[in-house]
Amino acid sequence: MRTQVGIVGAGPAGLLLSHLLHLAGIESVVLESRSRAYVEARIRAGVLEQPVEQLLNDSGVGERMRAEGLRHEGIALRTGGRDHRIDLAALTGRGIVVYSQHKIVQDLIAARLAAGGDIRFEATCIGLHDLRTDAPFIVYEQDGRTHRLDCAIVAGCDGFHGIARDTIPAAARQSFDREYPFGWLGILADVAPSSPEVVYASHDRGFALLSMRSPSVSRLYLQCAPDEDLAQWSDDRIWSELSVRLARDGFALQDGPISQKGVTPMRSFVVEPMQYGRLFLLGDAAHIVPPTGAKGLNLAAADVAVLTRALTAWFRSGDTNYLDTYSETCLRRVWKAQRFSWWMTSLLHRFAEHSPFERRVQQAELDALFGSVAASTALAENYVGLPLIL
């Protein structure tokens, strides 16, 4: 079989790329190793930057997001029992939308199938070949048979553990990596959010985050060891620890049934370049950010915007300028998001190796942020999202 763009992975990056290419008149086939039910139920990020919200609306897949998404015009930073509200709307004229990633995936799958798009679930890619020629191809297995997909371009949207990045020879790529000495114990709870906006809390016992997925579902996190044993965390212990770390005068944390819990390790990762011949990496295949800055899904969407522009110019007129500079363009935004995510993580978490002096400096930096409109504006500008293409 032949198509113009072979897309490995039906996460947000792969599906959004297929959708935008369709709008530009470019054919694609999406290959996904998991089932449709699995990818549509996979709970991930939920904060959409304003430029990503705009992209979804402009491309015609924002109807449910507009109906169900929770618009926020601020976030709260909490420490020492007091809040500092970052007024996103007042400082930037923009805000963010809380809308779960699995719903975006559902919306994009529905849009692609309604348009006759080709998404092949339970199709496991086992090789990417001839990437430095003008005739690359993908070999995959589905229904016990081996298949070949010929294409002009291969888009690697298969996540951190996929095959796309590792297909690039080690001598042709460089990785930048940092693993943090903690993780996040995250829960989904069937209880209304205890705050109308996201709360980031810095506490002597560790970081905590109060977020939400809907008016009746809360998403909360606790800083923990990266290898934390979930069996040691009963529901009561989780709610008790959250109450301590999120404590503030006049604040009451509402608890309820926990429907999901898990531990997420924290890391920063970038591979350079993000392209090799006719292979282009997008999203988690190319970069990972700690979730503190809420940038992972948004960076993937930015990669898609850059590659869509490049492929549209190339397929329509043969112009290779945007295609040749894909990696350079993406990495400008990637490293800015890495810096912001690292800074938010360093500012709000407890580090076991910190001396009392370093902890005091960390608290002083929070105080400085609270007292500075300029510093609050810088945080707000990064949080609501830089332009998709820098």
Catalytic residue among 291, 322, 326, 349: 291
Catalytic residue among 99, 180, 276, 383: 383
CA 343 to mean position of chain CA atoms: 17
Known catalytic residue: 102?
A: no
Known catalytic residue: 181?
A: no
Catalytic residue among 72, 102, 287, 349: 72
Q: How far apart are CA 135 and CA 56, in angstroms?
A: 32
Q: What is the DSSP string of 317-365?
A: H---HHHHTHHHHHHHHHHHHHHHHHHHHHHHS--TT--HHHHHHHHHH
Bridge partners, 221 (sequence order): 186, 209
The answer to whether 235 and 175 have CB atoms below 8 angstroms apart is no
Cα pseudo-dihedral 329, 335, 340, 344, rounded to 10: 140
Known catalytic residue: 291?
A: yes
The answer to whether 216 and 190 have CB atoms below 8 angstroms apart is yes
The answer to whether 253 and 239 have CB atoms below 8 angstroms apart is yes
Catalytic residue among 276, 295, 322, 326: 295
Catalytic residue among 140, 200, 221, 322: 200
Alpha helices per DSSP H over 59-148: 63-68, 88-92, 101-114
Known catalytic residue: 295?
A: yes
Name which of 10, 94, 63 is nearest 387 in CA terms.
94
Known catalytic residue: 326?
A: no
Q: Any idea which residues carry the catalytic annotation?
A: 72, 200, 291, 295, 383
